[in-house]
């Protein structure tokens, strides 16, 4: 059964945790979809894990569209959400509508995600929702603000906690259907989760969120560097290395292909 946005709030009420993973191409999208992920996020993290950039900032809307189309072709059940990349939505709500509209129109994804919950961004979310574009919010550590925030945990001080809570509330009031809480203290994530009627999706935010998301490359052990809050469920980097070394060895020794 295809996952619908309307189901997510029902799952929150039922206490049914939501499973979210990132995808960046057809092959991974197909595997993750068939394995039972509820939401596949075409995250701008693909800038780093698939395209080799040092941060998420360089990736363009065109590149995001290209990867989102590939993911869409591999998915039959999961809800697909696509990140709006840096400077494709911050300039104005009109720019955000143009960018988000292209995502839905050209890729077949069902929703977009954008970072930040300050008043101007909440206003942007309001305008997107008013024209029929579903929006997932994102507060706490926002990677597109890496030069301002770094990759440090956010929400440690009383003032920072109050600000992040206020941003989450503002995004819900603006019409966001869910919010990612990234790298914030567990007690703050629990407070936000209890306060909101829409689902929270945690990443490095403790066990009290309504769902959890990981970058799939981190989960599978493909990344060269792992954030401190990641659990690695496989070591595909090592497995692939061994497979390639085995192939190379057999080619050089002329064991492969086998002689008739």
Residue 259 within any structural domain of the chain: no
- The reply to whether 113 sits in an annotated binding site is yes
What whole-number distance in Å separates Cα of residue 87 and Cα of residue 42?
Answer: 17
Stated as kind and residue range, the H or E segment containing 181 is strand 178-182
99 is in an annotated binding site: no
* 133-145 as b/e: b if 16+ CB within 10 A: bbbbbbbbbbbbe
Residue 184's closest CA among 140, 151, 215, 147? 140
What long-range pairs does 91-100 form, CB within 8 A, spacing at least 24?
92/124, 93/123, 93/124, 93/126, 93/127, 93/128, 96/124, 96/127, 96/128, 97/127, 97/128, 97/131, 97/133, 99/61, 100/128, 100/133, 100/135
Number of structural domains in the chain: 1
Quote the Cα angle for 51-78-137, to 5°.
70
Q: pTM for this one?
A: 0.97
CA distance linking residue 97 with residue 124, whole number of Å: 8
Give 119's DSSP letter: H
pLDDT value of position 252: 98
- List, by residue number, the catalytic residues: 182
Identify the pLDDT of residue 149.
Answer: 84
Q: Indicate whether 27 belongs to any domain.
A: yes
In a domain, 257, yes or no: no
Does residue 258 lie within any of the structural domains? Answer: no
Across the chain, which has 260 residues, the per-10-residue mean pLDDT values are 95 98 98 98 97 96 98 98 98 98 98 96 98 98 89 94 98 98 98 98 98 98 89 96 98 96
Distance CA 85, CA 108 (A): 17
Structure tokens at 260: 């008739």
238 marked among binding-site residues: no
Domain presence at residue 260: no
Asked whether the beta carbons of 45 and 243 are under 8 A apart, the reply is no
The pLDDT value given to residue 48: 96
18 in a structural domain: yes
User: How high is the pLDDT of residue 146?
Assistant: 86
On whether residue 33 sits in a domain, the answer given is: yes
Q: Which pLDDT does position 237 carry in this prediction?
A: 96
123 is in an annotated binding site: no
Q: What is the pLDDT of residue 173?
A: 98
Q: Which two tokens stand for residue 199?
A: 């689902």
44 annotated to bind ligand: yes
Residue 83 bridge partners (DSSP): 113
CATH number for the domain spanning 27: value is: 3.20.20.60
Sign of CA dihedral 211, 60, 164, 187: positive
Domain for residue 226, yes or no? yes
What six digits make up the tokens of 67?
């990867």
Going by C-alpha positions, the residue among 177, 204, 220, 184 that lies closest to residue 23 is 220
Rounded distance between C-alpha atoms, residue 200 and residue 191, angstroms: 11
Which range marks the domain in which residue 139 is found?
5-252
So what's the pLDDT on residue 176?
98
């Amino acid at each position: 059964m295809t996952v619908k946005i309307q189901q997510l709030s029902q799952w929150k009420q039922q206490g049914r945790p939501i499973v979210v993973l990132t995808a960046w191409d057809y092959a991974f999208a197909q595997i993750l979809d068939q394995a039972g992920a509820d939401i596949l996020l075409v995250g701008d993290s693909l800038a780093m894990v698939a395209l080799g950039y040092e941060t998420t900032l360089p990736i363009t809307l065109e590149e995001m569209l290209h990867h989102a189309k590939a993911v869409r072709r591999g998915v039959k059940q999961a809800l697909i959400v696509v990140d709006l990349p840096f400077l494709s939505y911050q300039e104005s709500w009109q720019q955000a509508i143009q960018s988000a509209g292209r995502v839905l129109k050209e890729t077949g994804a069902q929703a977009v995600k954008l970072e930040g919950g300050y008043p101007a961004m909440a206003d942007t979310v309001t305008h997107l929702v008013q024209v029929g574009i579903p929006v997932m919010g994102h507060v706490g550590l926002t990677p597109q603000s890496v030069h301002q925030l770094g990759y440090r945990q956010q929400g440690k001080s009383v003032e920072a906690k109050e600000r992040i809570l206020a941003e989450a509330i503002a995004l819900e009031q603006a019409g966001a259907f869910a919010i990612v809480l990234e790298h914030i203290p567990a007690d703050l994530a629990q407070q936000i989760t209890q306060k909101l009627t829409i689902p929270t999706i945690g990443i490095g935010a403790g066990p009290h969120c309504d769902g959890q998301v990981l970058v799939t490359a981190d989960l599978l052990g493909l990344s060269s560097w792992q954030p401190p809050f990641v659990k690695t469920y496989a070591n595909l980097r090592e497995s692939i290395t061994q497979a390639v070394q085995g192939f190379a060895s057999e080619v050089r020794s002329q064991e492969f292909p086998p002689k008739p």
